[in-house]
Amino acid sequence: MRKLISCALITLSVAFVAPEKGLKDYYKNYFPIGVAVNPRMVQPGPDAELIKAQFNSMTPENAMKMGPIHPEENRYNWKDADAIADFAQQNNIKLRGHTLCWHNQTPNWFFTDSTGKTVSRDVLLARLKRHITDVMGRYKGKIYAWDVVNEAVPDTGTALYRKSKFYEIIGEDYIEKAFQYAHEADPSAQLFYNDYNTENASKRERIYQMLKKLKDKKVPINGVGLQAHWSIYEPTKQELEESITKFASLGLKIQFTEVDMSVYPKEHERRARRDTDKSEFTPEMVDKQAAQYKMVFDVFRKHRDKVTGVTFWNLTDKYSWLDNFPVPDRKDYPLLFDQEGKPKKAYESVVKF
């Protein structure tokens, strides 16, 4: 009887310590699988357990952006970013930094003096250098890759450069300066340019031309982050492959940095909610999403020699930035885990290969 009991205990013990395979395990021979997180997710609880079970890379969704981490000229808010960095360290999860220079979520003080006047090029460059040096210095050795400059190319038109305040005050070389400052702050970090809508032929070409100029000038850039805010209707396989091969031809590493798959047609501009806007996830949407996720991950695996990371933008359908963009208060269902943290049909399509 004692022997039977001990055998049962051993069986229970083995079952308990053998976790279910996670995304990171299915893709261990391909590339790291990451997730964007907020500070709440890394507190003890179901979200933290799901992160540890499924992912081997993390990106702070907002905590390291310029506004949240550096709200005033002589004040940094390290708390949230530290919590995420500490969780990554404790659980042996790679950490991507996001983002050092972005026209959005930049605090107003960055561009003005004490009287409210626009600062000079030299002042803004000094502020940018200090910000990059301080932030990267704090997390040196903890963050393996950084999105250095984010979304510097406009969506439409023929211009290579978005008319942001960084561009207007400094000029186009603010981008190469940012990469230079980042490389000086942490020579071992991989440095990325990050942008969205990279499957659009016009924008893709303009991003390519900008990156080519940086490469020709020997600017220390290692890769390009393709955000991958997609939908069940786009992109096509051909568009996706063209983006990978075009950017890789510059000798840059490719990472898909902000993957989600909206169940609604893609829109890039915020708009008011209409009577026809429903929050729904129909069986047809379920199937279409699974098929689209399968297609893009088939392409990722095919190009494993070029793709060095894939990161989902948020953890589960319980919360996504798409719940309020482009339409406020329209629930979206863009991720691999449902609102209870359970794998969806899309998850199965990604891991069965």
SS3 labels along the chain = CHHHHHHHHHHHHHHHHCCCCCHHHHCCCCCCEEEEECHHHHCCCHHHHHHHHHCCEEEECCCCCHHHHCCECCECCCHHHHHHHHHHHHCCCEEEEEEEEECCCCCHHHHECCCCCECCHHHHHHHHHHHHHHHHHHCCCCCCEEEEEECCCCCCCCCCCCCCHHHHHHCCCHHHHHHHHHHHHCCCCEEEEEECCCCCHHHHHHHHHHHHHHHHCCCCCCEEEECCEEECCECCHHHHHHHHHHHHCCCCEEEEEEEEEECCCCCCCCCCCCCCCCCCCCHHHHHHHHHHHHHHHHHHHHCCCCEEEEEECCCCCCCCHHHCCCCCCCCCCCCCECCCCCECHHHHHHHCC
Active-site positions read 151, 258
